[in-house]
Structure 1
Amino acid sequence: MAAVSAGVTSPFDLRSASLTLLALLLKTTDLELLATELAQREAETPELFNQEPLLVDLAAVREQGSPLDMAALVALLRRHRLLPVAARGGSPAQMEAAIAAGLADSPDAVPQNPRTETVREVVREVVREVQVPMSSTALLVDKPLRSGQQVYSRGGDLVVLAQVNCGAEVIADGSVHVYAPLRGKVVAGARGNTAARIYTTCLEPELISIAGTYRTAENQLPADVLGKPAMVRLDGEKLVIEPIKI
């Protein structure tokens, strides 16, 4: 056995640490359906899953009668470059299976929400208060993005000061601001932030998406926002596109 160096009382220390977790809010025990959706999300935003520590929230499937193969779920998530480390909210049997699959029981773990501030917004001459995400970090791009190029602002907003051409992709965990023609794909709230928004001075996108809800160019935009300054927000599971008066 190796000896401990003189003056060293212990070869390691244990200290408190905090970790921000991405939460998977599981809504089905059908792993084939989940695999299809994960593959689609990963194809749309290849950098979205990048060895992220993951909390599996089982509250929505706690009472479902169909069994959940926890070991297969963990393997599926790892294949998609996610690192499941803990679970919460499941039935006793589900939590037992989660622990057996190597996950920690974390009933008190709370995914971190983006910091927000209250602002006043005028919509159709009605003043209301809304919650707008305030990112602690923002990525700034000041050069045009060509077809095939992708920019991803992990953990914050994305601000683009030049044209986003067809075939280019701009992605952010927060909101996306494009102060130029937006003609490619734009994804805001890439990791589930439903308060994220999309702003642009010229809306002509191939695809717009917020927190997984998307709309493609096949569904033509209304004339009052197409090619004009506009804002996109999420209302429930519906994308709302509104003109911006400049």
Structure 2
Amino acid sequence: MSAAPAGHARACFDFKSASLPLISVVLRTSNLAELSQELQARFGETPNFFDEDPAAIVLTQIEQDPTPLSFSVLVTLLKHYKLRPIGIHGGSAAHREQAAAVGLLDLREISSGAVAVPAAEAPPTPAPAPVAAPAAATGVTMVVDRPLRSGQQVYARGADLIVLQAVNFGAEIIADGNIHVYAPLRGRAIAGARGNTEARIFCTCLEAQLISIAGIYRTSEVALPPEVQGKTAQVRLVGESLVLEPL
């Protein structure tokens, strides 16, 4: 309940709590050169993977690292990939002081629903085969039974994703495996996010803003073929091209 100031019929503004979707960028190194290489390897060919998403920089894993961390460089680096850092979570007293100097907030709590993007993980050991196998989902399936609004994002890490209601314009769904949408797909759908070229996207009404499999993407700037526009369809990868087919 808000009270109007004296002499005014009503208040000019209100304060209300709000829950905002955040991308959690979990740092595992203070070496920004290494971080830059990792980001380029993972997102360099998918410039629309993020869309000016607000981000929290999670420092809990490098709190004891004595290596200096340049927050001004880090912020610039993340902005290059269309992330908008707004604050930090965890870290040392020095981290918090340096982050505040560049305008980052101290976020003491982060919702468990935030999507984590691990940064600078150790590269996997290559398999002893002439051609590296694509990253595959674990067989687990995530099910979302609510509509997704603009600004909301769901990531099925190491899993397939099933969405039972509409993915509206501005919403984003990501899966390391396949994506199934049994409703209109109007937002962004990214399957095979970690390089699984066998992943597919299935939906009952294809009207997507962006579709992507293993880093190969197509945006709504190129009109969908009439045989799949607004219809039941699948999207799969053949070589370096996305193939859209009616079902």
Counterpart CA distance in 2 for 1:45 and 1:158 is 23
SS of alignment partner, residue 178 of structure 1: strand
How many residues align structurally?
Answer: 151
* Aligned residue among 35, 44, 47 for 1:37: 44
Please report how far the alpha carbon of residue 82 of structure 1 lies from its aligned counterpart in structure 2 after TM superposition.
2.5
SS of alignment partner, residue 223 of structure 2: coil
Distance 1:160 1:42, change over 3 A: closer
- Match in the other structure for 1:186: 189
SS of alignment partner, residue 177 of structure 1: strand
What TM-score, normalized by structure 2, do the two folds share?
0.52
Instruction: Provide Cα deviations, 1:36-85, integer angstroms capped at 9, x if missing partner.
Output: 817936635979xx99xxxxxxxxxxxxxxxxxxxxxxx99xx7752343
1:88-99 matched pairs, under 5 angstroms: none
Bigger Cα Rg:
1
Letter in 1 for 2:120: L
Letter in 2 for 1:83: A
- Match in the other structure for 2:170: 167
> Do the aligned partners of 1:114 and 1:135 also contact (CA within 8 Å) in 2?
no
Distance 1:39 1:198, change over 3 A: closer
Counterpart CA distance in 2 for 1:225 and 1:140 is 24
Counterpart CA distance in 1 for 2:231 and 2:46 is 33
Counterpart CA distance in 2 for 1:231 and 1:150 is 21
Please report how far the alpha carbon of residue 114 of structure 1 lies from its aligned counterpart in structure 2 after TM superposition.
5.8
Distance 1:41 1:191, change over 3 A: farther
- Match in the other structure for 1:83: 120
Instruction: Provide Cα deviations, 1:177-207, integer angstroms capped at 9, x if missing partner.
Output: 0000000000000110000000000000000
Matched, 1:152 2:181: no
Counterpart CA distance in 1 for 2:146 and 2:127 is 44
- Alignment RMSD, CA only? 3.6
Counterpart CA distance in 2 for 1:211 and 1:39 is 9
- Match in the other structure for 1:65: none
SS of alignment partner, residue 43 of structure 1: coil
Letter in 1 for 2:181: V
Higher relative contact order (CA 8 A, sep 6+): 2
Counterpart CA distance in 2 for 1:188 and 1:45 is 20
Counterpart CA distance in 1 for 2:207 and 2:120 is 36
Counterpart CA distance in 2 for 1:113 and 1:209 is 15
Please report how far the alpha carbon of residue 136 of structure 1 lies from its aligned counterpart in structure 2 after TM superposition.
1.4
Distance 1:164 1:107, change over 3 A: closer
SS of alignment partner, residue 85 of structure 1: coil
* Aligned residue among 208, 212, 223 for 2:211: 208
Structure 1: segments with no counterpart, 5+ residues: 1-30, 52-74, 88-105, 116-133
Distance 1:166 1:108, change over 3 A: closer
- Match in the other structure for 2:100: none
